[in-house]
């Protein structure tokens, strides 16, 4: 059996389609990361640009009820220092530079929240904005020190606002699911306030989570599908399946070896994909910020999603094998596998339905496990009048897909032998 598995695995790895798509995946991962690095430098991602900090990285700072007053006081004292400000000369500002006004500026997030609650009118908000002193800005050399104080206070204040916002939004919802969802978000924000959280530079980790989602996840799906689409069809077209079965290996042993080899192949692709995401992002953005996070740290989230992505890879592999066992042409096998595996993603992106059970079932399909739609947003499923983590649904989905695909693979392979 061991020799047969090795034989099957070698056949998979010799597939030219696999080699081409694997190289494409590497190029895609590198291009995505380089693009993201540029976005962080421009300030389109993250709370402050890398250049704002003068090459420094915001250290990890734990924020809680115990130290927030001290942090607020330190920030106020810093913003009241006259020497940190300089006159703003718009003619000398470079395009793309972000300007920080300190105490002289207006907190748009806080103003918008007060406006939504009815505490201020639009006229009052405009008056506050117009009266904000934008003639003075914080000097560039003081920005690193400023963000070390401003960032933890800002995150804490934003989280407090989120508690109120989500509780208010929950009251405005008509469906029970939406009410529970916003109450869940409010609960998570409360837990962050009560338990404390860590802020700091974590752009490398943030970009890994982004890379493990749709942007590059499609490449992993392609590597798996194109690597496995000819496991059976390749033998059918070359009539080598009959040769295999003329040996001492029976149908069950041959099918078992193909399935085991395919799982090993999926694991290899998954490890390569994960290694590329981690090494490339850490190389360009650094590995700082493992402990940063609200209800869980970056490293905890990472090890929570990794098994789910691998599970999705294996299930995509099973589906591709089942389709390959039915068809005799590799191109047809690849095309059908792509359609079947990626359709759930298209449904979730391009269609809208008010049926919660349908939408969450689509979100729990194997392709969405690989793409990690649950990574960047907190996705909760609605079951028995309660909210549960979407990843809980991955288990029954995996059981169902496996229970369908394995018998189909064996039956289709056996029928082909009888037919021929």
pLDDT tens for 262-290 read: 999 999 989 988 888 898 889 888 899 99
- Count the Cβ atoms, other than its own, within 10 Å of residue 167: 16
Residue 328 burial class via C-beta count within 10 angstroms: exposed 0-12, middle 13-18, buried 19 and up: middle
* pLDDT tier at 243, thresholds 50, 70, 90: very low
On the question of pLDDT at 215 being above 90, the answer is no
Mean pLDDT computed over 384-404:
90
Chain-centroid distance of CA 76 in Å reads 36
* pLDDT tier at 163, thresholds 50, 70, 90: very high
Higher pLDDT, 330 or 405: 405
* pLDDT tier at 420, thresholds 50, 70, 90: very low
On the question of pLDDT at 242 being above 50, the answer is no
pLDDT at position 228 is 87
**pTM for this prediction:** 0.85
* pLDDT tier at 418, thresholds 50, 70, 90: very low
**Percentage of residues in the chain having pLDDT higher than 70:** 90
Q: 220 vs 36, 120, 214, 258, CA distance in Å?
A: 19, 50, 10, 20
d(CA 297, CA 290): 7
On the question of pLDDT at 352 being above 60, the answer is yes
Query: In sequence order, which residues have a C-beta less than 8 Å from that of residue 77 and are 6 or more positions away?
Result: none
Which range (289-303, 331-345, 356-370, 377-391) has the least confidence?
A: 377-391
pLDDT in tens, 38-61: 787 777 787 788 778 888 889 999
Calculated CA dihedral for residues 39, 42, 48, 50, nearest 10 degrees: 90
On the question of pLDDT at 115 being above 70, the answer is yes
Check if the beta carbon of residue 322 is closer than 8 Å to that of residue 409.
yes
Tell me the range of 149-163, 360-374, 381-395 where mean pLDDT is highest.
149-163
Mean pLDDT computed over 219-231:
86
């Amino acid at each position: 059996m061991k020799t047969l598995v090795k034989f099957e695995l070698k056949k998979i790895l010799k597939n030219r389609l696999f080699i081409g798509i694997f190289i494409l995946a590497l190029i895609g991962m590198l291009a995505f990361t380089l693009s993201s690095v540029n976005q962080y430098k421009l300030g389109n991602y993250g709370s402050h640009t890398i250049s704002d900090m003068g090459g420094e990285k915001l250290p990890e700072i734990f924020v809680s009820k115990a130290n927030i007053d001290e942090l607020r006081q330190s920030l106020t004292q810093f913003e009241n220092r006259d020497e940190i400000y300089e006159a703003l000369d718009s003619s000398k500002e470079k395009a793309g530079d972000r300007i920080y006004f300190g105490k002289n500026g207006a907190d748009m997030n806080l103003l918008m929240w007060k406006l939504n609650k009815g505490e201020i009118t639009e006229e009052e908000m405009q008056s506050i904005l117009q009266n904000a002193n934008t003639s003075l800005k914080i000097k560039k050399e003081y920005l690193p020190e400023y963000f070390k104080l401003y960032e933890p206070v800002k995150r804490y204040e934003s989280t407090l606002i989120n508690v109120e916002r989500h509780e208010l939004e929950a009251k405005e919802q008509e469906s029970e699911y939406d009410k529970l969802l916003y109450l869940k978000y409010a609960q998570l924000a409360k837990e962050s306030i009560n338990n404390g959280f860590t802020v700091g530079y974590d752009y490398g980790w943030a970009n890994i989570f982004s890379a493990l989602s749709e942007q590059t996840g499609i490449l992993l799906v392609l590597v798996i599908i194109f690597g496995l689409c000819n496991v059976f069809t390749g033998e059918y077209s070359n009539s080598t399946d009959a040769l295999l079965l003329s040996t001492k290996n029976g149908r069950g042993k041959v099918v078992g070896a193909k399935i085991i080899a395919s799982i090993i192949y999926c694991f290899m692709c998954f490890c390569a994909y994960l290694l590329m995401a981690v090494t490339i992002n850490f190389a360009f953005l650094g590995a700082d910020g493992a402990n940063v996070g609200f209800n869980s740290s970056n490293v905890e989230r990472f090890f929570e999603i990794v098994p789910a992505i691998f599970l999705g890879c294996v299930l995509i592999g099973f589906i591709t094998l089942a389709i390959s066992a039915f068809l005799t042409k590799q191109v047809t096998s690849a095309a059908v596998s792509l359609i079947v595996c990626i359709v759930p993603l298209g449904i979730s992106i391009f269609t809208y339905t008010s049926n919660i059970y349908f939408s969450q079932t689509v979100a729990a399909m194997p392709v969405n496990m690989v793409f990690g739609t649950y990574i960047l947003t907190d996705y909760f499923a609605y079951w028995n009048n309660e909210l549960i983590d979407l990843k809980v649904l991955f288990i029954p989905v995996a059981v169902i897909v496996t229970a369908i695909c394995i018998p189909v693979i064996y039956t289709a392979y056996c029928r082909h032998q009888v037919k021929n």
